[in-house]
Amino acid sequence: MPSYQAPRGTKDVLPSEAKRFQRLEAIARDVFRAFGFEEIRTPTFESLELFQRSLGETTDVVQKEMYVFEDRGGRSLALRPEGTAGVVRAYVEHHLSQTRPFCKLFYVGPMFRAERPQAGRYREFWQIGAESFGNASPSADAELLLLVQTLYDRLRVPDTQLRINSLGCSDCRPKYLGALLAFIHSHLELLCDDCKRRAERNPLRVLDCKTDAPKLADAPTIDAYWDDACRAHFEKTQDYLRRAGGRFVFAPRLVRGLDYYTRTVFEVTTTALGAQDALAAGGRYDTLVKQIGGPDTPALGFALGAERTLIAMDSAGALPAKNGNHLAYIAALGDAAAPVGFELLQSLRQDRALADRGWLFEGGFFEKKLGAQLTIANRLGATDAVIVGDDEIKRNEVTIKSLASGAQETLAKDRLTAHLMDRYAQGDMDQS
Ligand code: AMP
């Protein structure tokens, strides 16, 4: 066992995984652009108080899961457990409400929660998320849900389900919480120890408990308590969604773990994952901007878990499509050829036209025997080898060998670029 290992609950993203991650990110960026979202990057740590105020003092995340530390100046800070609080802080701090009528932002970055690690649950994990400020219309809820649906369609994650609910507002939710709490009290003996404690502080979370939820099948649901405005908002959201081909189910027991949500909440689940079946979640948070010192601004957002989304893409074999690259391996034969091979490799790498055509170049074991160099070329998946030897140098030529067929030809060195450009004519990128 090596002396050092990645800390518990963290993982290294090795190159093959990093490629898939980039693909996920690229598709997400495309979808965000199509829906008018722009990127924002905020710090990975913020003041502890920001998270306490935004997420809620009594939530599990704030009570048990944050990495809290004091810096050398004695300030209380926390590694961000989620992205919304920081984005809202930046929105307020930079007065973004004054510069744009509505403001749609997305982010990609690591989040930190001291949870018990298990498959699909880490202490450092990546979220891709979006926040939309300034639009109270149910069409904004529908738009965000359609964005999420579009994204998962584009990622080809199978068997996803978009579940939606409304948590009402500060007028109607307390009435529901009263009814729920009364029900919970009369069933207290059924609950797990965690939920017995949770019941007072955060009764909604009891509905979210994997062990207890099935025992509370008769618990009241919030739809009976919505006031007229909340009901109308939720109905219009669904109307908008249906018009635009939204696929969703109404889940009256769906709640969220953070306090800031109002009205619409949602999550995306898939049967492709085990216990950790939630891929993405979000909702509306119309009071949060004001709560942390900004103007009264309606807002909503979501975040997806990147690792879980990648696992779900994996299990169905929905691997990213081949990216149309071809690799040529530069090999040298003989002492004088090594520096020529090196120079050729570097100049080919800098050729923009070849790069645009998808050509990549590798090399670097010029002093080895030619056979050994070609073995490396094959292991790397090169389609061609470009060989320079003493004879070629004298005549200013190179030999190009197809590694699939073994066929080879010798051509003038200054014809090489044109030859490679022709080798995979546009639209014929996959012939390798
Ligand atoms: P949340 O911010 O809790 O609403 O989570 C949004 C999404 O982030 C979830 O649906 C998961 O996909 C992902 N997520 C949350 N916590 C973790 C974790 N500890 N490890 C991996 N992914 C997570």
Q: State if residue 279 touches ligand 1 by the CB under 6 angstroms criterion.
A: yes
- Ligand 1 atom showing the smallest separation from residue 123 Cα: 19
3-state class of 58 per DSSP? coil
Q: What is the pLDDT of residues 130-189, one digit of tens each?
A: 999 999 999 999 999 999 999 999 998 888 999 999 999 999 999 999 999 999 888 888
Distance between Cα 308 and ligand 1 center (Å): 8
Residues 307-366 have pLDDT tens digits of 999 999 876 555 544 567 899 999 999 888 999 999 999 999 989 999 888 899 999 899
* Ligand 1 pocket member 82 (CB < 6 A): yes
Alpha carbons 51 and 54: distance in angstroms, whole number? 5
Given the CA of residue 113, which atom of ligand 1 is nearest to it?
Answer: 19
Q: How far apart are CA 256 and CA 207, in angstroms?
A: 10
253 has pLDDT over 70 = yes
Percent of the chain with pLDDT over 90: 71
Sign of CA dihedral 236, 97, 107, 289: negative
Which residues, at least 6 apart from 237, have a Cβ–Cβ distance to it below 8 Å?
A: 138, 141, 142, 145, 164, 264
Instruction: Check residue 426 and give its pLDDT.
Output: 46
Residues 222-245, mean pLDDT to the nearest whole number: 95
Mean pLDDT of 45-65: 92
Quick check: 239 and 195 in contact, CB under 8 A?
no
**CA separation for the pair 135, 74 (Å, rounded):** 39
**Ligand 1 proximity of 11 Cβ (cutoff 6 Å):** no
Q: Which two tokens stand for residue 221?
A: 């649901």
The CA-atom distances, in angstroms, between 275 and each of 118, 215, 278, 359, 365 are 10, 18, 9, 42, 48
Answer yes or no: is the C-beta of 226 below 6 A from any ligand 1 atom: no
Q: Rounded to an integer, what distance in angstroms lies between the CA atom of residue 33 and that of residue 229?
A: 32
Residue 266 one-letter amino acid: F
Going across the sheet that includes 160-166, the strands are 38-39, 103-112, 124-133, 299-305, 278-284, 262-270, 160-166, 249-250
Residue 125, pLDDT > 50, answer: yes
Q: What is the pLDDT of residue 430?
A: 38
Note the pLDDT of residue 431: 37
Question: Where residue 80 falls among pLDDT bands split at 50, 70, 90?
Answer: very high
Best residue among 125, 131, 265, 266 to mutate for probing ligand 1's pocket (most ligand atoms within 8 Å of CB) is 125
CB-ligand 1 contact for 266 (6 Å cutoff): no
| H/E stretch holding 408 | strand 408-412
pLDDT for 8 equals 97
**Stretch 301-306: mean pLDDT, rounded?**
98
pLDDT score recorded for residue 317: 56
- What's the pLDDT at 322? 52
What is the mean pLDDT of the segment spanning 109-123?
95
Dist. CA 147–CA 142, nearest whole Å: 9
Helix (H, G, I), strand (E, B), or coil: what is residue 288?
Answer: helix
Question: Average pLDDT in the 122-132 region?
Answer: 98
Lowest model confidence (mean pLDDT) among 72-76, 125-129, 419-423: 419-423
Q: Mean pLDDT for the chain? A: 91
Q: What does the pLDDT read at residue 323?
A: 60
- The region of weakest confidence among 84-93, 167-176, 184-193, 412-421 is 184-193
* Alpha-carbon gap, residue 230 to 123, rounded angstroms: 36
Pocket test for ligand 1, best of 285, 308, 313 (most atoms within 8 A of CB): 308
60 CB within 6 A, ligand 1:
no
Q: Is 134 in the pocket of ligand 1 (CB under 6 A)?
A: no
Residue pair 67/114 in contact (Cβ under 8 Å)? The answer is: yes
Q: Which two tokens stand for residue 166?
A: 């409304």
Taking a C-beta distance cutoff of 8 angstroms, is the pair 107, 42 a contact? yes
**From the CA of 82, how far away is ligand 1's center (Å)?**
8
Q: How far is the CA of 373 from the centre of ligand 1 (A)?
A: 45
Between 132 and 276, the more confident residue is 132
C-beta 273 within 6 A of ligand 1: no
C-beta of 122 in contact with ligand 1 (< 6 A): yes
Closest by alpha carbon to 111, among 162, 154, 65?
Answer: 65
How does DSSP assign 157-204, residue by residue?
Answer: -SSEEEEEEE---TTTHHHHHHHHHHHHHHTGGGS-HHHHHHHHH-GG
Q: DSSP letter for 428, please.
A: -
- For residue 125 and ligand 1, the question of a CB distance below 6 A is answered with yes
The partner residues of 124 in beta bridges, in order of sequence, read 112
* pTM given for the model: 0.85
Residue closest via CA to ligand 1's atom 13 equals 305
- pLDDT in the model for residue 16: 85
Distance CA 316, CA 318 (A): 5
pLDDT in tens, 203-233: 888 887 878 888 888 899 999 999 999 999 9
- Does the Cβ of 280 fall within 6 Å of ligand 1? yes
